[in-house]
């Protein structure tokens, strides 16, 4: 660039404006490449799509179910014991003779018996709610978290929500077990490794 002459003596500072850079000519191939990149970025929202997680295998899922059975079963023990002792208190004035229940007047104490049944059922329902809520919100129960697997929607990859989690759990506990747990074994030859209860709510189980 040209060098400006020194300012006259006694004059103020001089503002020097740098010259404009020369325009860069792009080839047709470069312009096409830039256009493709802009299109990809606009479609993807500048966020690369994560690679899909691998499907969880049969033994991972079996281990998760077994651990769930132990942990959630143990969680029902306190209320089950409380219900048992309440019912036993209600029948304390009764005896069994020749397979017949014989009670003193005023026995059994129906209030205690009903309270025992209510406590036992309430405990089971609370633990069941915790189980379903774990699937609905995080895609994981206690056992599945331990073995590192997660239930998600096949299309979204996100937890499936309360309604689908409840339907999946009920279907797994009934239809998938008949006959001989065929609904569970179905994943062994299914291309998406889905059980019957996965298919009914369009869920899959992935490894983390």
Residues in Cβ contact with 188 at an 8 Å cutoff, skipping those fewer than 6 apart: 58
Structure tokens at 17: 């404006």
pLDDT in tens, 87-139: 999 999 889 888 888 888 888 899 999 999 999 999 999 999 999 999 999 99
Domain residue ranges of the chain, discontinuous segments joined by +: 58-207
CB atoms within 10 A of CB 136: 19
Number of helices (H), then strands (E), in the chain: 8, 4
105-119 b/e (C-beta count within 10 Å ≥ 16 → b): eeebbeebbebbeeb
CA triplet 43, 48, 53: central angle to 5 degrees? 125
Distance, in Å, from the CA atom of 99 to the CA atom of 29, rounded to the nearest integer, reads 94
Model-wide pTM > 0.75: no
pLDDT in tens, 166-199: 999 999 999 999 889 999 999 999 999 999 999 9
Question: Within 10-141, where are the H helices?
Answer: 28-44, 58-75, 77-90, 110-137
pLDDT in tens, 49-83: 667 789 999 999 999 999 999 999 999 999 999 99
H-helix or E-strand spanning residue 101: strand 100-103
């Amino acid at each position: 660039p040209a060098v400006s002459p020194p300012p006259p003596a006694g004059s103020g500072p001089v503002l020097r404006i740098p010259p404009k850079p020369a325009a860069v000519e792009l080839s047709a191939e470069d312009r096409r490449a830039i256009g493709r990149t802009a299109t990809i970025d606009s479609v993807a929202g500048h966020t690369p799509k994560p690679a899909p997680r691998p499907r969880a295998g049969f033994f991972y899922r079996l281990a998760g179910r077994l651990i769930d059975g132990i942990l959630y079963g143990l969680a029902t023990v306190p209320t089950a014991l409380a219900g048992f002792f309440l019912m036993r208190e209600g029948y304390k004035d009764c005896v069994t003779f020749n397979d017949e229940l014989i009670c003193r007047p005023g026995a059994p104490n129906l209030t205690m018996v009903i309270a025992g049944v209510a406590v036992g059922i309430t405990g089971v329902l609370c633990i069941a709610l915790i189980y379903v809520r774990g699937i609905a919100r995080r895609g994981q129960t206690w056992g599945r978290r331990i073995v590192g697997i997660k239930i998600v929607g096949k299309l979204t990859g996100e937890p499936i929500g309360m309604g689908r989690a409840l339907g999946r759990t009920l279907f797994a506990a009934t239809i998938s077990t008949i006959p001989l747990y065929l609904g569970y074994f179905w994943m062994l030859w299914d291309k998406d490794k889905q059980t019957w209860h996965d298919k009914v709510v369009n869920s899959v189980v992935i490894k983390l």
